[in-house]
């Protein structure tokens, strides 16, 4: 049946009736929304919206992540015909998921960007839809957190990353992808005692009280022990999940601006994300995919898989 459907389906991102169901169009053609979901600005009947933020003007190293959302969407077409492996439900068929398109902003007015992004995310949350964001550099998580905290109150942060991004910076107007979680703690957006950073392998003396599970601990203790530790810290707190693709070792995700050796394997990441089922995820993002350095497309594919897992984590507690 799927082969027959693939021969006659095309552009389901704009032709599907509704927001649920698998897509069986050819992966090499058609309009590439995320996972071939329907494009929509009216989220009246939508459970969760996916949006892109093509911004990389906060990077300290190699640029290119402004091209990330488009690359992740294209890579996601490889997954759209099938339910996600390892889950006992099909999030694409059971939940109404829409692609909300990308953030529109004036690249020449960087000072206006944070408020523009915060308002964009709020426009999704105010329609009673949850939000999954495709980046873009990691700074984008800061305005996104502000929007989520307005709706949900202070949150736990679950961050997969090579860097803590908590380097000191008391100038709240600076747009920098290495300091935004310092600001998030100082602003009271996240509770550091109930937050976890996983995969860290760069030096930052002041962790601001955030719990660190570095890459070596993941390698030595194994994914299951790490998941148990994460769950014990998060409890049932409302949690925002941010996944910087450089959490993965450059062997698995070379297409990023600040690669660091000794990182997580894609297998470790997939096990942890699936075994985290049950945590109270209210939103999330995948950031720092930089297509100019992603010669095989492996990084964008990894980013698309991570985004799918975040969808499943969000949906897990909401089944039925």
| pLDDT of the residue at 273 | 98
| pLDDT of the residue at 172 | 86
| pLDDT of the residue at 192 | 98
Q: Is 138 annotated as a binding residue?
A: yes
Q: Is 246 annotated as a binding residue?
A: yes
CA 23 to chain CA mean position, Å: 22
Query: How far is it, in rounded angstroms, from Cα 259 to Cα 30?
Result: 32
pTM: 0.96
| pLDDT of the residue at 205 | 87
Convert the pLDDT of each residue in 20-29 to its tens digit.
999 988 888 8
Query: How far is it, in rounded angstroms, from Cα 150 to Cα 148?
Result: 5
Residue 296's contacts (CB-CB under 8 Å, 6 or more residues apart) are 254
Q: Is 137 annotated as a binding residue?
A: no
| pLDDT of the residue at 178 | 86
Q: CA 80 → CA 38, 277, 319, distances in Å?
A: 12, 21, 20
| pLDDT of the residue at 6 | 65
Q: Is 109 annotated as a binding residue?
A: no
Q: Is 305 annotated as a binding residue?
A: no
| pLDDT of the residue at 254 | 98
- All residue ranges of the chain with pLDDT < 50 are none
Tokens of 233: 């810290």
Sorted by where each starts, the structural domains of the chain and their CATH numbers stand as 2-316 (3.40.800.10)
Helix (H) or strand (E) segment spanning residue 50: strand 48-53
Convert the pLDDT of each residue in 48-86 to its tens digit.
999 999 999 999 989 999 999 999 999 999 998 889 999
Q: Is 236 annotated as a binding residue?
A: no
Q: Write phi, then psi, for 116 (nearest 5 degrees).
A: -65, -45
């Amino acid at each position: 049946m799927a082969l027959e459907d693939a021969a006659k389906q095309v552009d389901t991102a704009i032709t599907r009736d509704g927001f649920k169901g698998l897509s069986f169009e050819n992966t090499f053609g058609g309009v590439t929304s995320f996972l071939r979901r329907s494009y929509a600005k009216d989220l009246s009947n939508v459970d969760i919206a996916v949006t892109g933020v093509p911004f990389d003007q906060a990077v300290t190293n190699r640029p290119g992540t402004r091209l990330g959302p488009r690359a992740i969407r294209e890579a996601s077409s490889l997954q759209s015909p099938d339910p996600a492996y390892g889950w006992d439900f099909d999030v694409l068929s059971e939940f109404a998921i829409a692609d909300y398109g990308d953030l529109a902003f004036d690249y020449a007015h960087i000072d206006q960007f944070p408020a523009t992004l915060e308002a964009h995310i709020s426009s999704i949350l105010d329609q009673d839809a949850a939000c999954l964001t495709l980046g873009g550099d990691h700074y984008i998580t800061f305005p996104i957190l502000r929007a989520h905290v307005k709706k949900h109150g202070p949150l736990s942060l679950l961050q997969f990353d090579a860097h803590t991004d908590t380097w000191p910076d008391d100038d709240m107007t600076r747009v920098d992808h290495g300091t935004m979680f310092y600001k998030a703690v100082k602003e009271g957006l996240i509770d550091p005692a109930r937050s976890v950073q996983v995969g860290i392998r760069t030096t930052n003396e002041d962790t601001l009280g955030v719990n660190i599970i570095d890459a070596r601990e993941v390698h030595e203790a194994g994914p299951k022990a790490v998941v148990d530790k994460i769950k014990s810290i998060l409890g049932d707190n409302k949690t925002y999940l941010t996944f910087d693709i450089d959490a993965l070792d450059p062997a698995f995700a070379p297409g990023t601006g600040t690669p660091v050796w000794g990182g997580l394997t894609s297998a470790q990441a997939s096990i942890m994300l699936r075994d985290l089922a049950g945590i109270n995820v209210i939103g999330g993002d995948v950031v720092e995919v930089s297509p100019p350095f992603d010669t095989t497309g492996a990084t964008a594919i990894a980013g698309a898989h991570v985004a799918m897992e975040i969808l499943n984590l969000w949906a897990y507690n909401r089944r039925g």
